[in-house]
Chain A
Amino acid sequence: MKASAFEYVRVSSVDEAVAQLAELGDEAKVLAGGQSLVPLLNLRLANPAYLVDINRIGELNFITNGSGVRVGALARHRDVERSELVARVNPLLAAAVKLIGHAAIRNRGTIGGSVAHADPAAELPTILVALDGEIEARSSRGARTIAAVDFFDGFLTTTLQPDELLTEVRFPSLPTGGGWSIQEFSRRSGDFGVVTVVVTLATGNNGTISEASVAFGGVAGTAVRAPSAEAALAGQTPSAELWKAASQEAAAVLDPPGDLHSTPEHRRHLAAVLTERALVEAYGRLGQEA
C-alpha cells in the first residue's frame, strides 16, 4: 500500500521540534528512524496529518557517560552497537542492541524511536525496565524526566504527551562487579522476541545475592519486572536450585498472551526456561571486567 498524504516538516533543533509539536499536537507524528513508523504508514494503519522529521537535530545524536549511559534520542542503534563506550560501560545494552532486527534497520532505527514506540516485545524497553532507566522529554512547557516504569503505559502506548519530544534515554549502570544476561527467544533471527528475559545480578562480600533484577519482554502489554522472583533471589546463596526456583516463581505469576507465534503456556514456559538460562549466564559473568 502507499502511505496517504501528509504535510512534512523538517526541524533542525529541539526548540523547533517542540514548537511544532506544541502547535500540531496529536495531528503530528515524529519521524526519526522510521523503522517502526513507516511500516504503519505504508500499511495505512496510521495516517497522521503531519510528520515532523527530527533526523537533522544534531544535538540529539550523542552517546555519553554520566551516571549511566546517556543516549540522545537520535542515536542510531548501529552507533550504540559499535560504541566503544557502551561496550565498556554497559555491555548489556551493547548486547541488546545487536539483537534489534537486521543491519539495515539498525542503520536507521534510533534509540529514542524504539523506546517511544514501546513495543513490549522489543529489547530496549525491557532493558530500561530492568535497569530502572529514565526518559527525558521536552515540550514547550519545559523538560521532565520520566522513570521507565512510569513511561511504558500499555501496548505501543507511553505517557508521553502529544506535544512532547523524547530527547534522551538514560541506561543506569550495571551493578559494580555484577553479572548480566539477555536471553531472547524468537522464531527467526532478527525477529521480535517471543519472550525476552533480562537479568542483572550482584553478590555481596559473603557471596549472597545483593542485587537482582529480572525483567520480561513479550509477556504483557509492557515490559515488566518480576518482583517476586527478585525477592526470591535477594540475600540467597547462588545455586542451581536457586536459579530454578526463582525462574519458576517468575513465570508462575505471568498471564502471557497467545498469538500466531506462541501460546500462553509456551510463553510461560519460555519465561521460566529463559530466566534460568539468564541467571546462570549472569552469575557466570560476575566479577568480569566489563
Chain B
Amino acid sequence: MRLVGANVPRVEDRRILTGRGHYVDDIQLPHMLHATFLRSPLAHARITGLDATGARQAPGVIAVYTGADMKEISKPIRPVIEMGLTPEYYALVTDKVFFVGDLVAMVVAESRQQAEDACELIEVDYDPLPPVLTYETALDPAVAPLFGDLDSNILATSHTEGGDVEAVFAEADRVIEVELSQHRIANVPMETRGLVADYDDGSGQLTVHAATQSPQGLRIQLATTLEHPLDKVLVLTQDVGGAFGLKGNIFREDFCACIATKQIGRPVKWIEDRNEHLLASGHAREEKISAQVAVTDAGDILGIKAELTMDQGAYPGLPFGASVFPAFITLLLPGPYKVKGYSCDAKVVTTNKCTYVAYRGPWAMETWTRERLIDIVAHELGLDPAEVRRRNFQEGAEDDRLITGLSLWGITSRYTLDRALELIDYAQVRKDQQVARDAGRCVGVGFATFIEAAPGPPEMRIGGGMFGGEQAKVRLEADGQVTVITAQSPHGQGHETTLAQVVADEMGVAMDQVRVVHGDTRLTPFSVVGTGGSRAATWASGAALMNARKVKEKVLAIAAAQLEVADEDLEILDGMITPRGVPSKAVPLAQIALQATLSPTSLPPGTDPNLEANERFLGEGITGSGWSGGTHACVVEVDLGTGAVKIVRYVVVEDCGRVINPAIVEGQIRGGVAQGIGQVLYERAAYDDEGNFLAGTFMDYLLPTATEIPTIEIEHVESDPDGEIGFRGVGEGGMIVAPAALTNAVEDALLPFGAKVTEQYLPPAKVLKLAGVI
C-alpha cells in the first residue's frame, strides 16, 4: 500500500487556502430573501397574545410566520424513525414556549437587517410558568409535565444488568459511593447553522443548500414533515465549517425556511448568528451518575451500580433524541475492565433548556465516570491508580467480554496504558511531584483509558451493524479518472483525501486520478447518519474499497481477454494495466474506459462494459478487534494563588488500527483533546435559576485558544492493521477520554488537600475551593 499510511496533502486544501471554499453563507441566489427568528425571552411561558402587524408592514418585509401558520401549513414534527417519546410540536411554537431561545416567529425580508428590525416590532404577551431546570424537579412526579401530551417529564427509562450484581456487592470488602456530574456544554463549530432553501414552483423542486452531516437524512426528514415528494427534495452540501455532531440534526429552523420558500416562491436564506447558536442550536453532555463501586481492599473492581440521569432540554433532537444515547453509556460503562457484576438504570428527562444533541463521543460519560471511579477507588484504598487499572484490565483474549456482553477480543488497553506511562516517564513524574510538593508547588499526573466501538466487535457488525453498513458508488470514467460517490458528508475530516487514498491504492492509480463526490442527494447513497460515530474510516472506506475492487475486476476481465492472459496475471500500476513482468504489453486504464464508453459492444464477449459498482458494504473484510481506544496521560500544575491549571505535558497513545493518513488522524485527535480541555477548564453552557441563558457570546462561552492548549504528543498503535479493512474509527476518541485524564490529574494534584473531583467543570474558583484555599 503506497498512499494509505502517508501524510498525503489534502485535496480540499487549495480551495480553502485561497478563500474559495463554498460554505452555505457564501451562497447568493437571485431574489434571495433572509429569515430571522423571534426567540422567547422566557424559559417557560404560555403565549397569550401575539401581534405581528407592525412587523408585516415594516420596510423590506415579505412575510411573517407564527405557530398558527405552521399548524395550518405543516404537520407536527416527528422523526422518520420513531425512537423514544416525542411530544407534539411544530416548527414554531403554538401555545407555550419551552426554553429561552424557543422559536416564536419567523420574519422573512429583503435583508437580514430589515428582518431583525421587523422582529423588534412583534408584540408578544407571555404568561410565565414555573420552569423545570434541575434533575430533581424533572423527576418529581408532583411537577406537571412540560408537554401536555406526555405523562411526565421522564422521557425514557432503561434498566440493564450484567452478572449477578447483588452477589458481587455482597462479597465486596467495601462499597464506595460517588455522585458524578457532567455539566452542559456545546459543540460550537466555527461555522454556525444555516441553510438556503430554494423552491422552484415551475418544477416543484425544493433545493436545500445545507451545512449538514447527513444530506440524505435531512432530505428524507424534510420530505416527510413537509409532505413534499421525496424525489423533488434535493439537498446540496459543499464545505461545512465543522459540526462535531451538531449538524447531524434537523432543526425547526430548517423546516421554517423550507416552508417559507414554498409559500413565497423565492429562495430563503437563514444564517444563524453566534448568539443564537450558543443559545439555541444544541447543548450537550448534561448528565449525572450516582455510582456505587464494589471493591476488594486489594483493588479489584468487582461491580458497579450506576444510576444515570440525562437532561435533554425541552424538545427532542431530530433524528436522534437524547433517549438514544443512554444505551451507549450503559453498554460501555464497565470499559476494558474485569467487572463481574453491573447494573445501570438510566432516565432521560425534559427541562426548559435547549435541546440535547450529540457531541463528539456523546456517550463519553461512561469513560469519565469509570475512569474517575477508578482513581477515587485507588485513592481511597491507598493504591496507585496505574496499578488498579493494571490489576483490573481485561487482556483482550478471545473469551474476554464486557459484562454487558460485547466481545473485547483484541483490545490493547493494557498496552496503551503502559506505553503512555512510559512516554510520560511516570516514575520520574512521581519523583518530580514530590520535589514540587516539598517546594510548595502543586503538580499532578492523571491518565485514563477508553475503548470505542468503531466499528465494534463482530457481533456489532452483523448485517452491517446499526446502520446496515454503507453504500458507495465507484465509477471509472471515460478518461480513466475514478469517481467515488460517498454517503459521507465531511466537515473537516478530509474524506475527499482519505477515501481517495484508499481507492487510489486499490485501483493502482495516482491520487489525482481519483475524485470523491459528496453532498448531492441526486448522486449520493442513502445514509441516515452520514458522517458520525467515527464510521468513515471503516464503513465508508470499506464501501469505497469494495466497490473499487469490483470495478477493477471488471476492467481486468476486459484487459485479460484482450491481452489473452489470465485476470490474476494483471496488475494496475500508475494507471497502466500491466501483465506481471511484461511491462511492454501494458495498456492504459483510460483506454479500456474510453472503449467501454464509446463502443461497449466491441468489448470481449462475457465482459461487463458498465464500469461502475454500487454495492452495500456489510462489513466483510473488516479485520481486527473493531475496538479503537487508547490512553491519555497528562501532567498539570495548579497555581494555588489563582486556581489556574496549566497542562505541562499531554501524551496520547491511540490505537485505531491501520492509519490511512497520519496527519489527518493526529489532527482529529488533537482537536478532540482540545475540546476535552475546553470542556473541563473553560466551557459551560450556563443557565440561571430562572432558565435565562448566561453564555450567549464568546466573551461568556470560553473556547480555549492557542495559549490554553498545549503541545499534544501522539503515538499511534496500529494493532491488527493487516487485512482488507484494517482501519478503525478515530475522530471521537480525544473528546471521549481527555476530560477523564485531565480531571484525574487535577485531583491528583490536589490530593494533599483531600480534594475529590466529582464535578467535571473545574474553573479557577472551583479548583481553589477543592484545594480548601477559598
Q: Report if A and B touch in the complex (beta carbons < 8 A).
A: yes
| Residue ranges of A at the interface with B (Cβ–Cβ < 8 Å) | 1-5, 43-44, 185, 187-192, 194, 260-263, 265-266, 268-270, 273-274, 277
With A and B bound together, what is the CA distance between A263 and B704 in angstroms? 20
With A and B bound together, what is the CA distance between A187 and B682 in angstroms? 8
- Is residue B765 within 8 Å, beta carbon to beta carbon, of the partner chain? yes
- Is residue B764 within 8 Å, beta carbon to beta carbon, of the partner chain? yes
- Is residue B694 within 8 Å, beta carbon to beta carbon, of the partner chain? yes
Given A4-B117, A189-B707, A266-B774, also A273-B764 (CB < 8 A): no
14 pairs of residues in contact across A and B, judged by CB atoms under 8 Å? A43-B275, A44-B116, A187-B682, A188-B707, A188-B708, A260-B700, A262-B765, A265-B774, A266-B643, A266-B764, A268-B774, A273-B641, A273-B642, A274-B641
Nearest CB on A from B746, distance (A): 16
Q: Which residues of B contact A43 (CB under 8 A)?
A: 275, 697
Q: Is there contact, CB below 8 Å, between B113 and A185?
A: no
Q: Is there contact, CB below 8 Å, between B765 and A265?
A: yes
Q: Which residues of A contact B682 (CB under 8 A)?
A: 187-188
**A268 — nearest CB in chain B belongs to which residue?**
B774
Q: Is there contact, CB below 8 Å, between A189 and B642?
A: no
Choose one: B275, B686, B694, B706; the contact of A1 (CB below 8 Å): B275
- Is residue B773 within 8 Å, beta carbon to beta carbon, of the partner chain? yes
Given A187-B702, A188-B705, A274-B642, list of 17 further CB < 8 A pairs?
A1-B275, A2-B111, A4-B113, A5-B117, A185-B764, A188-B682, A188-B707, A189-B705, A194-B764, A260-B686, A260-B695, A261-B702, A262-B764, A266-B774, A270-B642, A273-B642, A274-B641
Q: Is there contact, CB below 8 Å, between B695 and A269?
A: no
For the A-B complex, the count of residue pairs with Cβ-Cβ distances under 8 Å equals 68
**A102 — nearest CB in chain B belongs to which residue?**
B705
Nearest CB on B from A264, distance (A): 9
Q: Is there contact, CB below 8 Å, between B774 and A188?
A: no
Task: Say whether chain B's binding surface is mostly helix, strand, loop, or mixed.
Answer: loop
Q: Which residues of A contact B112 (CB under 8 A)?
A: 2
Nearest CB on B from A41, distance (A): 11
Nearest CB on A from B117, distance (A): 6
- Is residue B644 within 8 Å, beta carbon to beta carbon, of the partner chain? yes
| Residue ranges of B at the interface with A (Cβ–Cβ < 8 Å) | 111-113, 116-117, 273, 275, 641-644, 682, 684, 686, 694-695, 697, 699-700, 702, 704-708, 763-765, 768, 773-774
Q: Which residues of A contact B700 (CB under 8 A)?
A: 260
With A and B bound together, what is the CA distance between A261 and B699 in angstroms? 10
With A and B bound together, what is the CA distance between A261 and B766 in angstroms? 11
Q: Which residues of B contact A268 (CB under 8 A)?
A: 774
With A and B bound together, what is the CA distance between A191 and B698 in angstroms? 11
Nearest CB on B from A224, distance (A): 20
Q: Which residues of A contact B764 (CB under 8 A)?
A: 185, 187, 194, 262, 266
Given A43-B275, A189-B708, A273-B641, also A1-B763 (CB < 8 A): no
With A and B bound together, what is the CA distance between A89 and B658 in angstroms? 61
Nearest CB on B from A51, distance (A): 15
With A and B bound together, what is the CA distance between A1 and B113 in angstroms? 8
Among B116, B275, B641, max chain A CB count under 10 A is at B641
**B643 — nearest CB in chain A belongs to which residue?**
A266
Q: Is there contact, CB below 8 Å, between B774 and A260?
A: no
Q: Which residues of A contact B644 (CB under 8 A)?
A: 185
Among A3, A4, A192, A260, max chain B CB count under 10 A is at A260
With A and B bound together, what is the CA distance between A1 and B279 in angstroms? 13
Q: Which residues of B contact A5 (CB under 8 A)?
A: 113, 117
**B767 — nearest CB in chain A belongs to which residue?**
A266
Nearest CB on A from B65, distance (A): 20
Chain A to chain B: the 3 pairs with minimum beta-carbon distance, closest first = A266-B765, A273-B641, A189-B707
Q: Which residues of B contact A266 (CB under 8 A)?
A: 643, 764-765, 768, 774
Q: Which residues of B contact A188 (CB under 8 A)?
A: 682, 702, 704-705, 707-708
**A190 — nearest CB in chain B belongs to which residue?**
B705
With A and B bound together, what is the CA distance between A261 and B764 in angstroms? 8
Nearest CB on B from A35, distance (A): 12
With A and B bound together, what is the CA distance between A189 and B275 in angstroms? 22
Q: Is there contact, CB below 8 Å, between A3 and B113?
A: yes
Q: Which residues of B contact A1 (CB under 8 A)?
A: 116, 273, 275
With A and B bound together, what is the CA distance between A229 and B774 in angstroms? 21
Nearest CB on B from A240, distance (A): 14
**B696 — nearest CB in chain A belongs to which residue?**
A43
Nearest CB on A from B544, distance (A): 41
With A and B bound together, what is the CA distance between A277 and B697 in angstroms? 32
With A and B bound together, what is the CA distance between A59 and B700 in angstroms? 37
Nearest CB on B from A103, distance (A): 13
With A and B bound together, what is the CA distance between A273 and B774 in angstroms? 12
Nearest CB on B from A251, distance (A): 11
Q: Is there contact, CB below 8 Å, between B774 and A187?
A: no
Given A187-B682, A260-B694, also A4-B765 (CB < 8 A): no
**A192 — nearest CB in chain B belongs to which residue?**
B699
Q: Which residues of A contact B705 (CB under 8 A)?
A: 188-190
Choose one: B686, B708, B763, B768; the contact of A269 (CB below 8 Å): B768
Q: Which residues of A contact B706 (CB under 8 A)?
A: 189
**B773 — nearest CB in chain A belongs to which residue?**
A269
With A and B bound together, what is the CA distance between A2 and B120 in angstroms? 13
Choose one: A2, A189, A263, A270; the contact of B116 (CB below 8 Å): A2
With A and B bound together, what is the CA distance between A229 and B402 in angstroms? 62
Nearest CB on A from B597, distance (A): 51
With A and B bound together, what is the CA distance between A261 and B700 in angstroms? 8
Q: Which residues of A contact B642 (CB under 8 A)?
A: 185, 270, 273-274
Q: Which residues of A contact B684 (CB under 8 A)?
A: 260
Nearest CB on B from A157, distance (A): 19
With A and B bound together, what is the CA distance between A185 and B112 in angstroms? 39
Nearest CB on B from A225, distance (A): 22
With A and B bound together, what is the CA distance between A273 and B111 in angstroms? 51
Q: Which residues of A contact B111 (CB under 8 A)?
A: 2
Q: Which residues of A contact B117 (CB under 8 A)?
A: 4-5
Nearest CB on A from B107, distance (A): 13
Among A187, A192, A277, max chain B CB count under 10 A is at A187
Q: Which residues of A contact B643 (CB under 8 A)?
A: 266
Choose one: B273, B641, B707; the contact of A277 (CB below 8 Å): B641
Q: Which residues of A contact B116 (CB under 8 A)?
A: 1-2, 4, 44
With A and B bound together, what is the CA distance between A44 and B275 in angstroms? 11
With A and B bound together, what is the CA distance between A277 and B694 in angstroms? 32
With A and B bound together, what is the CA distance between A188 and B699 in angstroms? 10
Choose one: B695, B699, B702, B765; the contact of A263 (CB below 8 Å): B765
Q: Which residues of B contact A265 (CB under 8 A)?
A: 765, 774
With A and B bound together, what is the CA distance between A274 and B684 in angstroms? 26
With A and B bound together, what is the CA distance between A88 and B187 in angstroms? 46
With A and B bound together, what is the CA distance between A94 and B705 in angstroms? 24
Among B117, B273, B694, B774, max chain A CB count under 10 A is at B774
With A and B bound together, what is the CA distance between A192 and B704 in angstroms? 15
Q: Which residues of B contact A274 (CB under 8 A)?
A: 641-642
With A and B bound together, what is the CA distance between A5 and B120 in angstroms? 13
Q: Which residues of B contact A191 (CB under 8 A)?
A: 699, 702
Nearest CB on A from B684, distance (A): 7
Choose one: B113, B707, B765; the contact of A2 (CB below 8 Å): B113
With A and B bound together, what is the CA distance between A271 and B702 in angstroms? 22
Among A44, A262, A266, A273, max chain B CB count under 10 A is at A266
With A and B bound together, what is the CA distance between A188 and B681 in angstroms? 10
With A and B bound together, what is the CA distance between A269 and B697 in angstroms? 27
**A2 — nearest CB in chain B belongs to which residue?**
B113
With A and B bound together, what is the CA distance between A188 and B768 in angstroms? 17
With A and B bound together, what is the CA distance between A263 and B682 in angstroms? 15
Among A2, A265, A270, max chain B CB count under 10 A is at A2
Nearest CB on A from B737, distance (A): 23
With A and B bound together, what is the CA distance between A189 and B705 in angstroms? 8
Q: Which residues of B contact A263 (CB under 8 A)?
A: 765, 774
With A and B bound together, what is the CA distance between A280 and B650 in angstroms? 32
**B640 — nearest CB in chain A belongs to which residue?**
A273
With A and B bound together, what is the CA distance between A274 and B641 in angstroms? 8
**A265 — nearest CB in chain B belongs to which residue?**
B774
Q: Which residues of B contact A44 (CB under 8 A)?
A: 116
**A185 — nearest CB in chain B belongs to which residue?**
B642
